[in-house]
Amino acid sequence: MNLKLLTKPECHLCAAARDTMDEVTGEYNITWEEISTTDHPGLAEQFAEEIPVLFVDDRQRDFWVIDPQRLRKMIAAGLDA
């Protein structure tokens, strides 16, 4: 399972999303990758109104607020596959 979180600097929603990602992925002992809009201007333009954005296996799965319960379900489903 490949988890990526698109974030931007000085974003309070991104800070909360990071905390959620750390908490939930820690429960499953899996890693996730943060992608900054600073390093990827094309993604910044494409997802400007939706940041932070959660990608699971390169598919957009959530944005703005990363729901921990929803994330747990996606991870569990991915681990069972």
Q: What is the pLDDT of residue 19?
A: 98
In this predicted model, what pLDDT tens digit does every residue of 45-57 receive, in sequence order?
999 999 999 999 9
CATH of the domain at 54: 3.40.30.10
pTM: 0.91
Strand boundaries in the chain, DSSP class E: 3-7, 33-36, 53-56, 59-63
Q: What is the pLDDT of residue 79?
A: 72
Mean pLDDT over 56-77 rounds to: 94
The CA distances from residue 62 to 55, 68, in Å, are 7, 11
- In total, how many domains does the chain have? 1
Q: How many CB atoms lie within 10 A of CB 22?
A: 11
Identify whether the C-beta of residue 75 lies closer than 8 Å to the C-beta of residue 25.
Answer: yes
∠ CA 57-37-53, rounded to 5°: 40
In this predicted model, what pLDDT tens digit does every residue of 3-51 receive, in sequence order?
999 999 999 999 999 999 999 999 999 999 999 999 999 999 999 999 9
Whole domain around residue 63: which residue ranges?
Answer: 3-80
d(CA 57, CA 15): 22
